[in-house]
Structure 1
Amino acid sequence: MKRSSRGFGLIELLVALALGLIVVLGVVQIFIAAKNTYVSQNSAAAMQEDARFVLSKMIQEIRMVGMFGCLGTIVDSSSAGDFNAAQLTPISWDNASLKLTLVTADVGSGGGTPTWTVISDCRNSAVAYSGLRSPTTGQIAFPIRRLLYSFSNNQILMGTGSGNPAQQVLVNNVSAFNVTFGLASSATDVAASTYSSNPGDPARIRSVRLSLTLTDPNNRVRNQTFNVVAALRNRLP
């Protein structure tokens, strides 16, 4: 047999198979890395979306805390007589039970049944009633809601109403949630100079800092902590 007509030898075939296997393994590694990157980016994006939803909702409501209508003096005609107490402490954070309570003007028209409704003519009278109330001619209705946020069992929950209302889950996979208040040095100062989780004087509160840490249950990405600060638009009593 002529040398030029010989086929591949065993060694040459093994070398070709080894080179082919190396190329295939390289392609597989690239595919796996790309897939892992895609999955981790999706997980991180989902965590960011969850945090954006919860924190933006809280910020919107915190900014409306203390807005009870157009008059400063409001007569409490609620059925339980609980509006005045809520008006005096429209925002509070309980470190022991990890609960954030807000008394805020109803944002938009999709908030459901308000906890109270303040009926006022914006000149001489303002009266708070329980639930939904319709104004008469020459009056304006201000829906007020009491919101309760709580952190329990790695979940942020929210309920609305007096007392201890039933709560619904807003977001899962929460490893930490904390609230601190930016306090002015006195009730007349504008800017916050210190932060405290348990302010003694609500009139010194100027802002609220929320800190939320989310975790991936599948451990595809590290825990992510999100921090936002919301300034109060209305001075507290």
Structure 2
Amino acid sequence: MNRHARGFSLVELLLALAVGLVLVLGVSQMLISSRLTHDSQQAAMVLQDDARFALGKITQDIRQAGMLGCLATTVIDNAPAAFDRPISWDASGSSRSLRLVTANVGDGVGKPDWTVLSDCRETAQAYAGSAPAAAPGLIRFGIRQLTYTHEAGQLKVSTPAAPAKAVLIDNVRAFDISFGLAAKPESTVVVRYDSHPADDSLIRSVRISMTLLDPTGRVRDQTYNVVAALRNRLG
């Protein structure tokens, strides 16, 4: 028997346990940090997807606002009053609404609020809802009035035919709009932005700022901005 052989002392054992505990805690902290980072990235992606969906739909409708056929509004017989204001904004109380009279892009959701039949040369006639069958030489243009409303932390959309507001996305902390204005009606150049323009005919673009929040608190509020030009504004 080797008289010099011996085991670990109590101090050595305690030191080994302490080092092992530190290593375990370090690995655990890394795993927890990695999981938190993954969760925050997932939450940010959800907010980004919601913003992309809502802003993509709104900007498409903004670009088509004022597309009331191939002739100016003044030529359209029986044109409703809504045709004179293809874009408007209301910020009364705690809710905010953006109203657009825009082309019905044929997404299969709902019927047009109005239909314009035109020969695209001299005559045009507006009808409520769907128009009768188009005679030879006439073109049909479906028109919808969409109202986007921000209230109670939700972004909603409604139409005259479906006034009950359908929720597009939740967790909307802020929804602000300003309008790019031209210096004069015949100009297409935006010279300034105003949240409450006095003359709707000068509106050439719309700037939207939307802030979304994560209800679980895994990520900070995310703000998204987009500018959409009115491509089809007719005088």
TM-score, normalised relative to structure 1:
0.92
Deviations 1:188-229 (CA, angstroms, capped at 9, x unpaired): 222111111221212211110001000111111111111111
Shift of 1:236: 4.8
2:48 counterpart letter in structure 1: Q
1:104 aligns with 2:106: no
Shift of 1:178: 0.8
Q: RMSD of the alignment, in Å?
A: 1.6
- Is contact 1:202–1:236 with CA below 8 Å preserved after alignment? no
- Is contact 1:182–1:206 with CA below 8 Å preserved after alignment? yes
1:8 aligns with 2:4: no
Deviations 1:33-75 (CA, angstroms, capped at 9, x unpaired): 0000000011111111111111111111100011111122111
Distance 1:122 1:129 in 2: 16
SS across alignment from 2:148: strand
Distance 1:28 1:213 in 2: 34
Partner of 1:89: 85
Distance 1:220 1:5 in 2: 56
Partner of 1:114: 112
2:84 counterpart letter in structure 1: L
Structure 1 residues 55-204: aligned runs within 5 Å: 55-72=55-72, 73-76=75-78, 83-96=79-92, 97-133=95-131, 134-161=133-160, 165-204=163-202
SS across alignment from 1:63: helix
Shift of 1:165: 1.1
- Is contact 2:67–2:234 with CA below 8 Å preserved after alignment? no
Shift of 1:2: 3.8
Moved over 4 A (4+): none
TM-score, normalised relative to structure 2:
0.92
Change (3 A) 1:21 1:128: same
- Is contact 2:156–2:168 with CA below 8 Å preserved after alignment? yes
In structure 2, list runs of 5 or more residues that go unmatched.
none
Deviations 1:135-180 (CA, angstroms, capped at 9, x unpaired): 2333211000000100011000001226x81111001001100111
Shift of 1:84: 2.5
In structure 1, list runs of 5 or more residues that go unmatched.
77-82
